[in-house]
Structures are given as C-alpha cells and as structure tokens.
Structure 1
Amino acid sequence: MTKCEWCGSSNAKETTNNVYWELPDGSRAIEIHNTPCIDCLECGMEYQQEDTINTIENHLLLISIDNVPDSLTFEELMSIKKHLKRNYFDF
C-alpha cells in the first residue's frame, strides 16, 4: 500500500483513472484514460502524483497538440512523438 498525501493514511493504492487536461495553449481540454493515480481507501481521494502531473505537462509542451484527439489513453499520449528533446524551462 501507498501513503495518501491528503489524509496520511497508509490505506491507499496505486491504480488508474480518467482525467480531463487542458492543453497548454488553453484551446481545449482532452480526456486521458488509464492515467496513473493514487486511490485512498480511507478518505476516498483519487489524485495524480506530482511526477505524473509533470510527465503529462512536459509531454504536452513537447508535442504538436494540433492533432491530439479529444480522448486517448495515457499510453497513447506518451507515445506521441516529441518535437523537442526536453522542456528547457523546467527547472
């Protein structure tokens, strides 16, 4: 089990859920299925860990978002070819 960042319970587990994410240019939101998350069985909170959030945010900055479908899986999103090697503004 994993420790919940919200309530501190050790009764949390790693799983996946569906999330809506706004594209960096603010033009629209996409639905990302099977996104890694933590599900706390104590307080009921489902959330993405900071590293997952950073992975999604950085990847969206490094790909061409014009052809990103409105709905896709986390794996499909991560498989979209990057146009830049890295986010040079991520310190």
Structure 2
Amino acid sequence: MVECAWCGESAGEKSVHTAFWELPDGTRGIEITDVPCIKCSACGMYYQEEEVIEEIETQLLLVDTKLLPKVISYKELLATPRLLKRNYFKF
C-alpha cells in the first residue's frame, strides 16, 4: 500500500484505469485505456503518478496526433512511432 496523494491514507495500490487526455494542439481529446495508476480504497480516487503523466504527455508531443484513434491503449500509445526521437524542448 502507498499513501494516497488525494486523501493521505495508506490505502493506495497500483492498478490500471482509463484516462481521458486532451491532445497538445487542443483539437480533441482521446481515451487511453489500461493506464497505470494508483487506486485508493479509502477515497475511491484513481490517479496517475507524475512519471506516467510525463510519459503520456511527451509521447503525445512527439507523435502525429492526427493518426491517433479516439480510443487507444496505453501500450499502443507508447508504441506509436515518433516524429522526433525525444522532446528537445525539455531542459
């Protein structure tokens, strides 16, 4: 069990959940399934840790988002070919 970032209880556990993400260009949102998350049995929250958020946001910056379907799994998103090798704007 890990401490929940929302309620502070030691009732968080690793899980997967669906997340909805706005694309970086703001044109639409997508549904990402099976995203690693923390599920808190005390408050009922599901949330992504910062590393997962960073990974998703970086990938969305580096792929051709026009080719992404409305629903994609986390693993499929991360396997999507990138236009650039890395985010050159992150210092």
The TM-score bracket by the shorter chain reads over 0.9
SS at match of 1:6: coil
Q: Post-superposition shift, 1:6?
A: 1.4
Q: Percent identity?
A: 46
- Alignment partner, residue 27 of structure 1: 27
1:38-79 Cα distance to aligned partner (Å, 9 max, x none): 011111111111111110000000111111000010001011
Aligned residue identity for 1:33: T
Q: How does 1:71-82 map to 2 (within 5 A)?
A: 71-82=71-82
**Structure 1, 20-29 or 5-14: larger mean CA deviation:** 5-14
- Alignment partner, residue 67 of structure 1: 67
- Alignment partner, residue 37 of structure 2: 37
**Which stretches in structure 2 are left out of the alignment for 5+ residues?**
none
- Alignment partner, residue 85 of structure 1: 85
For the residues of structure 2 that align with 1:84 and 1:10, how far apart are their CA atoms?
40
For the residues of structure 1 that align with 2:61 and 2:35, how far apart are their CA atoms?
18
TM-score, normalisation: structure 2: 0.94
The alignment covers a number of residue pairs equal to 91
SS at match of 1:14: strand
TM-score, normalisation: structure 1: 0.94
- Alignment partner, residue 49 of structure 1: 49
Moved over 3 A (4+): none
SS at match of 2:82: coil
